[in-house]
Chains A and B, each alone.
Chain A
Amino acid sequence: MNAATLFGLCGAALAGLGLYGLVTNPEPLRKILAFNLLGSGVFLVFGVVARRAAASGLGGDPVPQAMVITAIVVAFAATAMAIALLLRLLQETGRPTLDADNPAGTDRGNS
């Protein structure tokens, strides 16, 4: 098992870990963190594909590497929007939760 395969398995495990965190964590901020973890796991898998396709004296195929650079920037843009939405949710309802049992607004009078 060479280094690329090892990192590929690591990326697969990270994708599963991130997905688990996204599904099970109730807080939105932890969901955003888990989403970033999931994304970086997938990027690692891309990186392994790039590493395996090394040819013509290069260390890796540059096309998947360029795609991963684009993806990291786009993931950051999505994270920034998600955090802005979360803070706005906090401003509007006073509680940073996506809980469906206490819809935003109806609980304000009681608590």
Chain B
Amino acid sequence: MIISSFFDIVLVVLILGIGASTIAAREAFAAIICFVVYGLLLAIAWVRLSAADVALTEAAIGGGMTGMLMLGAVARLRSAEGNDIRTSLPTRLAAGAMCALISAGLATAILVPPEVIPTLAPMVMENLAQSGLGNPVAGVLFVYRALDTLLEKVVLILALLGVWSLAPDGAWGGIPGLRVYTQPSRTLTFLAQLLPPVGIVVAVYMCWVGANEPGGAFQGGTILAAMWLLVMIAGLKRVPAIGQPWLRLLLVVGPVIFLAIGLAGMVLAGAFLAYPSGYAKPLIVTVEFALTLSIGVALGLLAAGPPEQAQRQ
């Protein structure tokens, strides 16, 4: 008991310290490294809060993919000079006071919980057995709030369209400007040949096991995206042009299957995104696998950025 609270206290102190150094670091590169470490520490905090699925997602997307995006950005920003103007001291003091007030407000909300804590856990567990799932978070994501998950996937595609729309006119449909190793390095090639098979197995396992234990489509999709990015960055496979039909098909196969099953549910089970009884688990597993594929492609393309070269014919 005492040891676990000591661990929690040390973890919170570390998280706050790393968060402060992310804000206060002088160079952008140091701030990004601090941010990646912060993401990983936060994943441990999520485990302490008994939210293993969230911990996986935070470590994969919050720490890994976001860090990768930022490192790519800072590599390009290094050659440009920014403004060295720092905000004046009165502004910083006023902002600090306002943020302290907001933190105090949130802290008061935490310290004064309602007397009867509302919980939806009993309702979730009541009907979970009918769907054949063992993981309550997967149940919420794919059964109770399936509309949220469908729309979340659409949001990913919308963000991708937004990123693509920033391409210069001549390069629309062309090859994204992901920075790759032009002279392939033998060590990186070794890693890019050894790791992807392991990564693909882990991704498929995470998607499959997410029905009963912590895991799921998003975590597996992130690992797929990471393996694809590794192969492209090492120079083993060329970055595909975004106008290619197979790429766009892979991107939409997840939400299209999800939407089709939802519409079929209107006919077969009486409501949009309802599953006919007895077929819930196979349908959910199909949706999860299709989503893993689409999420992998979408996250990889989001990290690759807008197209910069026209497609070679």
Residues of chain A whose beta carbon lies under 8 Å from any beta carbon of chain B = 2-21, 23-27, 29-30, 32-34, 36-37, 40, 43-45, 47-48, 50-63, 65-70, 72-81, 83-88, 90, 94-97, 99, 102
Q: Does B245 contact A (CB under 8 A)?
A: no
- Chain B contact residues (Cβ within 8 angstroms of A): what range? 35 or more
CB contact between B50 and one of A13, A18, A51, A95 (< 8 Å): that residue: A51
CB <8 Å contact, B4 and A3: yes
CB <8 Å contact, A62 and B49: no
A and B contact pairs by CB, cutoff 8 A, 12 listed: A7-B45, A15-B103, A24-B95, A25-B87, A26-B85, A40-B38, A43-B58, A62-B121, A65-B53, A65-B137, A66-B145, A95-B81
CB <8 Å contact, B82 and A95: yes
Q: In the bound complex, what is the Cα–Cα distance between A56 and B106 (angstroms)?
A: 28
B83: which A residues are within 8 A, CB to CB? 26-27, 95, 97, 99, 102
Q: Does B195 contact A (CB under 8 A)?
A: no
Q: Which of B155-163, B235-243, B246-254, B271-279 contacts A (4 or more CB under 8 A)?
A: B155-163
Closest to A10 in B: B12
A97: which B residues are within 8 A, CB to CB? 82-83
B268: which A residues are within 8 A, CB to CB? none
Closest to B5 in A: A3
CB <8 Å contact, A12 and B107: yes
Q: Does B305 contact A (CB under 8 A)?
A: yes
Q: Which of B72-80, B184-192, B280-288 contacts A (4 or more CB under 8 A)?
A: B72-80
A33, A48, A90: most-surrounded residue (chain B CB, <10 A): A33
Q: Which of B14-22, B198-206, B226-234, B255-263 contacts A (4 or more CB under 8 A)?
A: B14-22
Say yes or no: A19-B99 contact (C-beta < 8 A), given A33-B70, A84-B306. yes
Closest to B13 in A: A10
CB contact between A85 and one of B31, B85, B92, B166 (< 8 Å): that residue: B166
B152: which A residues are within 8 A, CB to CB? 70, 73-74
CB contact between B23 and one of A7, A37, A51 (< 8 Å): that residue: A37
CB <8 Å contact, B49 and A48: yes
CB <8 Å contact, A12 and B110: yes
Q: In the bound complex, what is the Cα–Cα distance between A78 and B141 (angstroms)?
A: 21
A99: which B residues are within 8 A, CB to CB? 83, 85
Q: Does B2 contact A (CB under 8 A)?
A: no
Say yes or no: A6-B120 contact (C-beta < 8 A), given A14-B15, A54-B50, A69-B218. no
- Smallest CB–CB gap between A6 and chain B, Å? 6
A94: which B residues are within 8 A, CB to CB? 80
Closest to B128 in A: A62
Q: In the bound complex, what is the Cα–Cα distance between A3 and B98 (angstroms)?
A: 27
CB <8 Å contact, B51 and A68: yes
B110: which A residues are within 8 A, CB to CB? 5, 8-9, 11-12, 45, 48
Q: In the bound complex, what is the Cα–Cα distance between A36 and B35 (angstroms)?
A: 9
CB <8 Å contact, B162 and A84: yes
- Smallest CB–CB gap between A90 and chain B, Å? 6
CB <8 Å contact, A76 and B62: yes
Q: In the bound complex, what is the Cα–Cα distance between A55 and B124 (angstroms)?
A: 10
CB <8 Å contact, B163 and A3: no
Q: In the bound complex, what is the Cα–Cα distance between A83 and B303 (angstroms)?
A: 10
Q: Does B182 contact A (CB under 8 A)?
A: no
Closest to A50 in B: B51
Interface residues of B in 64-113 (CB under 8 A from A): 65-66, 69-70, 72-74, 76-77, 80-83, 85-87, 91-92, 95-96, 98-100, 102-104, 106-107, 109-111, 113
Q: In the bound complex, what is the Cα–Cα distance between A6 and B16 (angstroms)?
A: 12
